[in-house]
């Protein structure tokens, strides 16, 4: 759906501005990416609202997006799979973070999440499965920025975890889960999980196509 919308909007823009076919393809892909990302965020927020987890999910998504922007991470083979996978993983990360915060003090969870994120980023970032960054200077710059962002967020979460407000402590736990799960996506384990999710989607699509042909 997002592909057709992106292509349709790109064609209208191309006619209005005189873009050639190659430029329209670039614009169409960019629009498809934005629409898919927007749809994924909308679905995640809708699910969070229905589950009563909206503030925590907003905290997690903000941290997730910041870290992913700099450190990279695994991607599915199609944009809609990325959107669906991101929605599911974000809600799962919030639930895991809140469960962990009930099991151990929030400052321990936030501290452990920060240490993991820093180590994973130092070890593997930037690690983008779709567009690998090969230039060593740019890799070093992105890694350094990601480490600085994670350290800043980690300190902020540690301070929030000591607050008397239960909601702020929950947001600190979810934020820690955000940087931890984003760091997971640059690790070999994250790449493996995304690959298995992609294979599962292929399996479901094959089953669906067989059912359609049999009818």
The single-letter DSSP state of residue 127 is: E
Residue 6 near residue 28 (C-beta atoms within 8 A): yes
The rounded distance, in Å, linking the Cα atoms of 158 and 175 is: 10
pLDDT of residue 215: 64
pLDDT band at 6 (very low <50, low <70, confident <90, very high): very low
pLDDT at 10 over 70: no
* Token digits of residue 136: 């060593």
CA distances from 162 to 152, 166, 190 (A): 16, 10, 31
pLDDT band at 206 (very low <50, low <70, confident <90, very high): confident
Top-ranked range on mean pLDDT: pick from 20-24, 113-117, 128-132: 113-117
pLDDT at 18 over 80: no
Let me know if 183 is exposed, middle or buried by CB neighbors in 10 A (0-12, 13-18, 19+): buried
pLDDT above 90 coverage of the chain, percent: 56
Q: Tell the residue number behind the tokens 């639930």, with chain if given.
A: 95
pLDDT of residue 13: 56
pTM for the full predicted model: 0.83
Segment 10-38 shows an average pLDDT of 63
pLDDT band at 121 (very low <50, low <70, confident <90, very high): very high
pLDDT band at 173 (very low <50, low <70, confident <90, very high): very high
CA angle 160, 166, 169 (to 5 degrees): 30
pLDDT band at 26 (very low <50, low <70, confident <90, very high): low
């Amino acid at each position: 759906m997002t592909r057709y919308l992106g292509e349709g909007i790109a064609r209208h823009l191309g006619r209005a501005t005189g873009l050639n076919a190659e430029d329209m393809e670039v614009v169409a892909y960019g629009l498809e990416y934005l629409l898919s990302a927007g749809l994924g965020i909308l679905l995640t927020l809708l699910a969070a609202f229905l589950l009563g987890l909206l503030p925590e999910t907003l905290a997690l998504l903000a941290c997730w997006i910041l870290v992913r922007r700099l450190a990279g991470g695994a991607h599915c083979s199609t944009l809609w799979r990325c959107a669906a996978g991101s929605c599911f993983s974000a809600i799962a990360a919030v639930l895991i973070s809140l469960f962990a915060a009930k099991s151990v003090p929030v400052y321990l969870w936030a501290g452990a999440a920060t240490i993991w994120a820093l180590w994973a980023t130092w070890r593997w970032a930037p690690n983008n499965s779709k567009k690998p960054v090969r230039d060593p200077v740019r890799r070093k710059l992105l890694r350094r920025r990601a480490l600085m962002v994670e350290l800043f967020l980690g300190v902020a979460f540690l301070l929030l975890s000591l607050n008397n407000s239960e909601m702020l402590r929950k947001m600190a736990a979810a934020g820690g889960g955000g940087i931890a799960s984003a760091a997971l996506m640059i690790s070999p384990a994250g790449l493996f999980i995304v690959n298995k999710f992609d294979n599962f989607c292929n399996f479901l699509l094959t089953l669906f196509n067989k059912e359609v042909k049999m009818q």
